[in-house]
Structure 1
């Protein structure tokens, strides 16, 4: 049998199996996504391959119709539409279940970041439930493309630091820019008619979306940075890089004895160099911002700390130390209280 006929028969067989056992697509997407996260944790080199395959698969998603026509015209391969539809759904599932564990770990749940992570969870649920995916999402083309752009944005936030060792601000800018460009078709779908005004309206809408995405960066968790250990303490062991007694409450007199250390161990991709900040907040007002440079690759997290000696006379009250990226995304938070 010629190769062309074999490929056509394989496509037909795959399409029939998917139609007969549709639940296997959802199960495969879920299991492979979780397996991807486990492999990322255990072997960084394989994580690069997985992330690269996902990015290539997104190129397929955006060009699936033209590629289908080209395959039929050049090779005579008529790829069944149900097969393409299920492949698209599987890539959505694979992508979302690959990134959600990262965002689940890095989200500071008592902040606005929880909104973004919950939104990704809702998107994953839609990709799993066929009636929602095929009867509500897919027929609405502009919403479907916006769904593409949102998922790709989250995938790039996770993949770029792993593949290219880009810092968090660089990754956010690249991910936002690419997502806005790919969202242009969905933005044009908001317009009922297409004329010269549309040529002005669509770029303006893209600019607004881009600005909104940048202004809302504090609501987006840094997907590849998370805290593995934190402590507020009055002493540090420089040799072992371990904190002393961990404190949740102390008096003003104890505070002025030797100041305080804010200790953080931050997990980051191998090879990543990142500048972060410890922002010392007193009763909701920032009183200090201290930079720290971290290097990724250590399983237990890169250990770093800041030592603050200068405290106001009226230091009583609630204190927080926010761990922030240069892009303004919060990695986590330490809390303590000063009493009289």
Structure 2
């Protein structure tokens, strides 16, 4: 096919999009919902979808350069509405791709509910054109915030699936890349006209990274979630199955046989991860026990801890917090010890 034919067909497509701009927005919304359904029903498709998303984010980062190359090669500019709709489509695909993961992995009675709720809110904004184009896009700082959060969430989900990185590695890498890529956007939005503004911009960027690191426990581990969790007095080690689930246990029973915290954790295939069961009484840490898990089993990797050494005072409300190596919360088991 000759270059002239390519130019003619491309011109026809651009003319069609200019005439019916809603086509691109509708495609972004439908493809985002398709990603949601595909990942929710067939997790093996997640690496393919995640790979497409990463490529689309590369386009987004080099959008300005790509448009200039396109203009020189084809002799005409890409229409501004088309660029806006492409960006909107990438936001929609990213957010509707990651939301199933975060909804599953969120511990809703913790600070993680704020992070996932915010993702849900900006996903809603991305599919409502009046909100996206008339309210969000003109507020450049808010637009960059949405862009940055969507990129961060997409990488948290995609990196463990594609590269089999641990949750800690994925979080640190996603945070570093997000902060690094946000700096040029901040530079364009807030031009550096004096030296002190440059220092302030660097300070804001570093503060963004610091806040992301300190608030990591508020971010759900996107690809790790509990498929089964129970507190019990016995575990069948041969069949790796727990006994009767307990919400209350007497102090005498506790001292006689101890207590098991049994968890089955779903993780991407090929992932090896160290997690911890943190036993706590009335908010204070009592014991922290490490477990190594492997991903790939549909029902989750089954592991448990057996606590026998309890303090003199055991009566009260207890928790077993299941956390990653960098402190992200996977889930909480609760039980009460009675006199």
Q: TM-score, normalised by structure 2?
A: 0.94
State the Cα distance separating 1:39 from its structure 2 match: 5.5
Range with bigger deviation, 201-210 or 236-245: 201-210
How many angstroms apart in 2 are the aligned matches of 1:40 and 1:140? 38
Runs of 4+ in 1 over 6 A off after TM superposition: none
Query: Contact conserved, 2:25 with 2:85, CA < 8 A, in 1?
Result: no
2:223 alignment partner in structure 1: 224
Deviations 1:132-179 (A, max 9, x none): 110111122232222111100000000000000000010000000111
Query: Contact conserved, 2:261 with 2:320, CA < 8 A, in 1?
Result: yes
Provide the secondary structure at the position in 1 that maps to 2:215: helix
Q: Aligned ranges for residues 49-198 of structure 1 at < 5 Å?
A: 49-188=48-187, 191=190, 194-198=193-197
Matched, 1:33 2:32: no
CA change 1:307–1:146 in 2 (3 A) is same
Query: Contact conserved, 1:226 with 1:331, CA < 8 A, in 2?
Result: yes
CA change 1:286–1:265 in 2 (3 A) is same
Deviations 1:287-306 (A, max 9, x none): 00000000000000000000
How many angstroms apart in 1 are the aligned matches of 2:309 and 2:40? 43
Query: Contact conserved, 1:92 with 1:127, CA < 8 A, in 2?
Result: yes
Q: TM-score, normalised by structure 1?
A: 0.94
2:26 alignment partner in structure 1: 24
Range with bigger deviation, 53-62 or 196-205: 196-205
Q: Which residue of 11, 16, 24 corresponds with 2:14?
A: 11
**What's the C-alpha RMSD, in Å, of the aligned pairs?**
1.7
Provide the secondary structure at the position in 2 that maps to 1:121: helix
Provide the secondary structure at the position in 1 that maps to 2:297: coil
Provide the secondary structure at the position in 2 that maps to 1:275: strand
2:337 alignment partner in structure 1: 338
How many angstroms apart in 2 are the aligned matches of 1:215 and 1:184? 20
CA change 1:216–1:270 in 2 (3 A) is same
Query: Contact conserved, 1:142 with 1:186, CA < 8 A, in 2?
Result: no
CA change 1:175–1:23 in 2 (3 A) is closer
Unaligned runs of 5+ in 1: none
State the Cα distance separating 1:90 from its structure 2 match: 1.0
Count of residue pairs the alignment pairs up: 336
How many angstroms apart in 2 are the aligned matches of 1:192 and 1:161? 36
How many angstroms apart in 1 are the aligned matches of 2:238 and 2:192? 69
How many angstroms apart in 2 are the aligned matches of 1:178 and 1:23? 28
How many angstroms apart in 1 are the aligned matches of 2:273 and 2:192? 46
Query: Contact conserved, 2:192 with 2:198, CA < 8 A, in 1?
Result: no
State the Cα distance separating 1:76 from its structure 2 match: 2.3
State the Cα distance separating 1:285 from its structure 2 match: 0.5
How many angstroms apart in 2 are the aligned matches of 1:102 and 1:332? 14
Provide the secondary structure at the position in 1 that maps to 2:21: helix
Query: Contact conserved, 1:270 with 1:297, CA < 8 A, in 2?
Result: yes
